Amino acid sequence: METKITVIGAGAWGTTLASLAKANGHQVRLWSRQSSATLADVSADADIIVSAVSMKGVRPVVEQLRFLQRKEVIFVTATKGLDPSTTCTPSQIWQAAFPANSVVVLAGPNLSKEIQAGLPAATVVGSKDLTAAKLVQILFNSTRFRVYTNDDPLGVELGGTLKNVMAIAAGTCDGLQLGTNAKAALVTRGLAEIIRIGNHWGAKTDTFYGLSGLGDLLATCNSPLSRNYQVGYGLAIGKNLTEILTHLEGTAEGVNTSQVLVQLANEQGIYIPISAQVDRLLKGEVTPQAAVNSLMLRDVKPETDLSL
Ligand SMILES: NC(=O)C1=CN([C@@H]2O[C@H](COP(=O)(O)OP(=O)(O)OC[C@H]3O[C@@H](n4cnc5c(N)ncnc54)[C@H](O)[C@@H]3O)[C@@H](O)[C@H]2O)C=CC1
Ligand SMILES: O=C(CO)COP(=O)(O)O
């Protein structure tokens, strides 16, 4: 059955998601701020509205859609970030604006350039409404894009969001040429940190061992295609953040996320040693090597106590 899908955001990810849905035979409209049509025009009769804007675009886009009163419309959010003013996740913003509608989070190891090149990938659609998640699963699933469902949307969303901070750390690790052991330690302890934060905020541990957590962490911490990885790599080889962001192709959400995360974690007493060093590095308060030294010089502790 042909479904009417409106994709908001014609950046790297929005364009890719639109082409995946189109290839499955659906009627897809891709909207950006540059479009001549209004968002109201392209959303008026949509069955599904997919938001793939960067974090800074979520609130403005939600505001433009406030007129929409159809409760059967399913919102799919693919943004990976935290709102600086409220610290909300994108799905929390969508759900608060449309309390009667189903909201589905889409996240996974999905470097858009690989998907655009036709390489196989898998992702997760998470929602409290599993019927909606299953519908979105069918819309996007194909022989080159395998889609799983999950009933923990917050965990799916936080996996994708928090790994961006770790990808900056991983890029720094590679830029400093610290070796494979150091990288494995960083990614493994990074996952422990993500689980500690996620559990504190009510997400399930198991979700972080899935595609949107460990999967996306592995993809972005190991690929020069990741913009967040590129930020960390650039800092490690002596570039400054402004210079890196000026030349970056697209958005590195981890830069904003680390700031919001550190503020929240400090308020709530969550221990986030790696993210805190990433934040200090981005603010120019510490050199890449000093950040590594700080992590290595911490008090010793047991491995499996996630509260530490
Ligand atoms: N590129 C990728 O491989 C993937 C990206 N994501 C996530 O998807 C989101 C978008 O990423 P990309 O497409 O790569 O970024 P991008 O920088 O290529 O595109 C961002 C899009 O957001 C739009 N936007 C920003 N502010 C806006 C506003 N106020 N009103 C309307 N539109 C606005 C821009 O016009 C642009 O179309 C990010 O949160 C990213 O973490 C998720 C999975 C994969
Ligand atoms: O989230 C992504 C892949 O899943 C894209 O990563 P970057 O935003 O770091 O490029």
Has 13 been labeled as part of a binding site?
A: yes
180 belongs to a structural domain = yes
Has 183 been labeled as part of a binding site?
A: no
Regarding whether 145 and 10 lie in a shared domain, the answer is yes
Could you say which of 151, 179, 198 is where a domain stops? 151
Regarding whether 168 and 120 lie in a shared domain, the answer is no
- For ligand 2, residues with CB inside 6 Å are 80, 109-111, 164, 167, 216, 219-220, 226-228, 253
Regarding whether 199 and 271 lie in a shared domain, the answer is yes
String of DSSP letters for the chain: ---EEEEE--SHHHHHHHHHHHHTT-EEEEE-TT-SS-HHHHHTT-SEEEE---HHHHHHHHHHTTT---TTPEEEE------TTT---HHHHHHHH-TTS-EEEEESS--HHHHHTT--EEEEEE-S-HHHHHHHHHHH-BTTEEEEEES-HHHHHHHHHHHHHHHHHHHHHHHTT--HHHHHHHHHHHHHHHHHHHHHTT--HHHHTSIIIIIHHHHHHH-TT-HHHHHHHHHHTT--HHHHHHH-SS--THHHHHHHHHHHHHHHT---HHHHHHHHHHTTSS-HHHHHHHHHTSPP--SS-TT-
User: Which residue minimizes the CA distance to atom 6 of ligand 2?
Assistant: 226
167 belongs to a structural domain = yes
CA of 226 to the centre of ligand 1 (A): 13
Q: What is the CATH number of the domain that holds 95?
A: 3.40.50.720
Check residue 236 and give its pLDDT.
Answer: 98
Ligand closest to CA 252: 2
Regarding whether 171 and 223 lie in a shared domain, the answer is yes
- Looking at the structure of the chain, the number of domains it has is 2
Best residue among 35, 42, 51, 54 to mutate for probing ligand 1's pocket (most ligand atoms within 8 Å of CB) is 54
139 belongs to a structural domain = yes
ipTM of predicted assembly, 2 dp: 0.98
Check residue 305 and give its pLDDT.
Answer: 78
User: Which residue minimizes the CA distance to atom 5 of ligand 2?
Assistant: 111
Report which ligand 1 atom has the smallest distance to the Cα of 34: 35
Active site residue 163: yes
306 belongs to a structural domain = no
Ligand closest to CA 250: 1
Regarding whether 136 and 8 lie in a shared domain, the answer is yes
- For ligand 1, residues with CB inside 6 Å are 9-14, 32-33, 52-57, 60-61, 78-81, 110-112, 250-251, 253
Q: Of the listed 113, 163, 239, 301, which one is catalytic?
A: 163
Residues of the chain with pLDDT below 70 are: 1, 306, 308
270 belongs to a structural domain = yes
Structural domain boundaries enclosing 20: 4-151
Could you say which of 151, 181, 207 is where a domain stops? 151
Regarding whether 87 and 222 lie in a shared domain, the answer is no
Regarding whether 182 and 144 lie in a shared domain, the answer is no
pLDDT tens digit sequence for 134-154: 999 999 999 999 999 999 999
302 belongs to a structural domain = no
Regarding whether 118 and 11 lie in a shared domain, the answer is yes
Regarding whether 160 and 122 lie in a shared domain, the answer is no
Regarding whether 158 and 142 lie in a shared domain, the answer is no
Regarding whether 176 and 55 lie in a shared domain, the answer is no
Q: What is the CATH number of the domain that holds 227?
A: 1.10.1040.10
198 belongs to a structural domain = yes
Regarding whether 29 and 81 lie in a shared domain, the answer is yes
Has 199 been labeled as part of a binding site?
A: no
Report which ligand 1 atom has the smallest distance to the Cα of 161: 41
Could you say which of 112, 135, 151 is where a domain stops? 151
Check residue 1 and give its pLDDT.
Answer: 66
196 belongs to a structural domain = yes
